[in-house]
């Protein structure tokens, strides 16, 4: 039986930096000794009240974490010191308990890119704690509620934040409703912009913006092409135009993500009626749109070849000719909406290049976006050529950041998601050990970060991409002087090797027991993270990467002004209410 620990929303961001790895280790050990001393509580109070972070020198080593208590800080420093000692040459690592390290910062001359997520990552409760902690953000949700109710739809707040408790039938009903395009796009549209407003107040400035599918609207908004009011109106209009109400074949439409040989996939699609390439997502992944029956046939064909192919949880064949009626409906709304020239480059899914400066040309490209395929791979490659190296994903989960990693591979860059969706984490600290992956016919691949948890073995600091034809893998763990060989099935996500699902459950238990884990006496905790805590950790990660940001908690103690939308209606009070649990 697993114990559940609900992490509270408020923590303290702790950032350490030093001229070298050895000096950083010294600072880590010294701070830990101070916190363990009789004056530890006073030292921790100073961390909480005065932990302002100046920009870190680009060549300095740096690390950071979020702690809620003195004991949390001591434990995080212990883990940090242990990992720094055992990995003196590591360039970058991230501990599964939320500790981030970089040998140096990202290239200072690189440009910062704001990426906005599209449909697919939405989940019930998305943004609840942020809305409760920053009531002024509720203005965005309230305004979207009003817009939806004006056309006879349920308010998005009711769909996202239903009153508990829910029985199983009610939960399924709300989840299915949220998957409908007319609700999905408004929900993501509000959440994306709420995250952006929060980071703006912490000092974030984007040099370039871009989005994936419906994320292109907030990308234009962030670049100043749309006012808050007109942005919210277009989000509602786009979702309704693409909804089931305006398409006769909606129940027969679907989308299929395929990871494999892109050229062979597209060649095969050209021979199938009513199926189209919806997106070139990465170097080895495409997304197909069309009717479900031929898509399912293709799914079996591609899986027989050993490729990953799975149907997406969407309610239509987006970015295909099936959206032509939606394009016509949306066109009327777009052409009637005032646009401004974008202040910074906004890269388009349609061309892979920046939007034009002229508002009328921006409108026509945005209209065609609904029926045109998404050239995301080309888009990211062009952004990188233009100097974009820091990619920050605004929106639910981390699909866009993962795609950036798959596209750019080992090229110097950073891609961080502000709401990773990693809501469950193992509490077995010692699972971070060195190991070697042994692939048949390939030289050993080394990895120095392991996280044994439910669903498999997560591995970090691996090559960005590996041959998709490799399925079976042997892992040799080095644990406390012991060598533990196990075998498993490789897991692929967004075209990247993501981990290993062990063939035998007893192998995982054997490894845990080696680490002193006793299932009977010490059930493995599962940490449930809310939007605020995930965002707080992501901001620490961004500070460690080199961005000159203030810690997120500065929005709560009044040091930094709360964010706000310029929307019609009565302004929402900026006073902080009780935090959501």
Q: Which of 41-55, 278-292, 332-346, 440-454 has the highest mean pLDDT?
A: 332-346
Name which of 575, 559, 555, 535 is nearest 195 in CA terms.
535
Q: What's the pLDDT band for 197 if we cut at 50, 70, 90?
A: very high
For 303, phi then psi, to 5°, come to -65, -35
Full-model pTM? 0.81
In the block, tokens 């972070």 appear at: 53
- Where in the sequence of the chain do the CATH 3.30.70.250 domains occur? 250-311
Q: What is the pLDDT of residue 524?
A: 42
SS3 percent helix, strand, coil of the chain, rounded to 5, is 40, 20, 40
Q: Domain 112-246+321-417 in CATH: superfamily?
A: Malonyl-Coenzyme A Acyl Carrier Protein, domain 2 (3.40.366.10)
Does residue 507 have a pLDDT over 90?
no
- Mean of the pLDDT values across residues 536-557? 90
Q: Which of 37-51, 117-131, 328-342, 389-403 has the highest mean pLDDT?
A: 328-342
In the block, tokens 């995080």 appear at: 76
Q: Is 546 left (phi over 0), alpha (psi -120 to 50) or beta?
A: left
Name which of 578, 581, 554, 557 is nearest 202 in CA terms.
554
- CATH 2.40.10 assigned to domain 428-524? The reply is yes
Question: Residue length, the chain?
Answer: 581
- Where in the sequence of the chain do the CATH 3.40.366.10 domains occur? 112-246+321-417
Does residue 112 have a pLDDT over 70?
yes
Return d(Cα 373, Cα 351) in angstroms, integer.
9
The residue ranges of DSSP E strands in 162-244, in sequence order, are 208-211
- Mean of the pLDDT values across residues 190-198? 95
CB 549 within 8 A of CB 203: yes
Return d(Cα 15, Cα 60) in angstroms, integer.
12
- Mean of the pLDDT values across residues 512-528? 46
- Mean of the pLDDT values across residues 162-181? 86
User: Could you report how far apart the first and last alpha carbons of the chain are, in Å?
Assistant: 23
CB 198 within 8 A of CB 336: no
pLDDT in tens, 327-358: 999 999 999 999 999 999 999 999 999 999 99
- Mean of the pLDDT values across residues 84-105? 86
Residue % of the chain over a pLDDT of 70: 75
Q: Is 557 left (phi over 0), alpha (psi -120 to 50) or beta?
A: alpha
Query: Would you identify the CATH topology of the domain 250-311?
Result: Alpha-Beta Plaits (3.30.70)
Q: What is the pLDDT of residue 577?
A: 41
Q: What is the pLDDT of residue 473?
A: 59
User: Which has the higher per-residue pLDDT, 362 or 420?
Assistant: 362
pLDDT in tens, 220-269: 999 999 999 999 999 999 999 998 765 566 678 999 999 899 999 999 99
- Where in the sequence of the chain do the CATH 2.40.10 domains occur? 428-524
Return d(Cα 82, Cα 469) in angstroms, integer.
36
pLDDT in tens, 564-579: 899 887 555 554 443 3
């Amino acid at each position: 039986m697993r114990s559940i620990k609900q992490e509270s929303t408020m923590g303290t961001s702790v950032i350490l930096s030093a001229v070298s790895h050895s000096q950083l280790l010294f600072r880590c050990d010294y701070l830990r000794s101070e916190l363990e001393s009789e004056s530890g509580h006073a030292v921790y109070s100073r961390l909480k009240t005065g932990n302002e972070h100046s920009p870190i020198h680009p060549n300095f080593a740096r690390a950071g974490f979020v702690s809620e208590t003195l004991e949390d800080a001591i434990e995080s420093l212990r883990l940090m010191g242990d990992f720094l000692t055992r990995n003196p040459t590591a360039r970058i690592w991230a501990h599964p308990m939320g500790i981030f390290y970089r040998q140096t910062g990202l290239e200072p001359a690189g440009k910062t890119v704001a990426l906005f997520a599209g449909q697919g990552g939405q989940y019930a409760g998305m943004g609840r704690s942020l809305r409760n902690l920053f009531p002024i953000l509720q203005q965005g949700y309230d305004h979207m509620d009003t817009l939806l109710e004006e056309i006879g739809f349920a308010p998005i707040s009711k769909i996202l934040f239903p009153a508990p408790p829910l029985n199983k039938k009610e939960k399924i009903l709300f989840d299915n409703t949220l998957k409908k395009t007319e609700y999905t796009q408004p929900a993501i549209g509000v959440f994306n912009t709420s995250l952006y407003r929060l980071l703006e107040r912490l000092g974030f400035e984007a040099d370039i913006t871009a989005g994936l599918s419906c994320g292109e609207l907030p990308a234009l908004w962030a670049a100043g092409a749309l006012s808050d009011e007109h942005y919210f109106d277009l989000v509602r209009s786009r979702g309704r135009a693409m909804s089931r109400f305006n398409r006769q074949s909606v129940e027969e439409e679907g989308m299929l993500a395929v990871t494999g040989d892109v050229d062979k996939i597209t060649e095969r699609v050209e021979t199938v009626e009513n199926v189209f390439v919806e997106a070139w997502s990465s170097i080895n992944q495409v997304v197909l749109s069309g009717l479900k029956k031929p898509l399912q046939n293709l799914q079996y064909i591609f899986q027989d070849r050993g490729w990953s192919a799975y149907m997406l949880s969407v309610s239509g064949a987006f970015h295909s000719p099936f959206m032509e009626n939606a394009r016509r409906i949306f066109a009327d709304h777009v052409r009637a909406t005032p646009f401004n020239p974008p202040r910074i480059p906004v890269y388009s899914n349609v061309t892979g290049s920046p939007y034009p400066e002229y508002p009328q040309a921006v409108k026509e490209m945005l209209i065609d976006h609904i029926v045109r395929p998404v050239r995301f791979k080309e888009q990211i490659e062009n952004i990188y050529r233009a100097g974009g190296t820091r990619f920050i994903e605004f929106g639910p989960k981390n699909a866009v950041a993962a795609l950036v990693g798959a596209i750019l591979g080992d090229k110097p860059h950073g891609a961080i998601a502000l709401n990773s969706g990693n809501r469950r984490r193992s509490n077995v600290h010692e699972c971070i050990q060195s190991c070697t992956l042994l692939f048949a016919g390939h030289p050993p691949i080394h990895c120095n970060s392991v996280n044994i948890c439910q669903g498999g073995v997560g591995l970090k600091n691996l090559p960005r991409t590996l041959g998709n034809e490799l399925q079976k893998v042997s892992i040799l763990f080095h644990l406390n002087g012991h060598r533990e060989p196990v075998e498993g099935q490789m897991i692929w996500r967004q075209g990247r090797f993501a981990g290993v699902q062990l063939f035998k459950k007893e192998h995982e238990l054997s490894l845990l027991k080696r680490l002193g884990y006793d299932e009977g006496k010490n059930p493995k905790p599962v940490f449930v993270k809310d939007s605020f805590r995930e965002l707080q950790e992501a901001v620490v990660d961004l500070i460690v990467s080199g961005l000159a940001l203030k810690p997120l908690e500065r929005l709560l103690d009044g040091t930094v002004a709360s964010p706000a939308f310029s929307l019609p209606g009565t302004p929402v009070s900026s006073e902080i209410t009780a935090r959501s649990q």
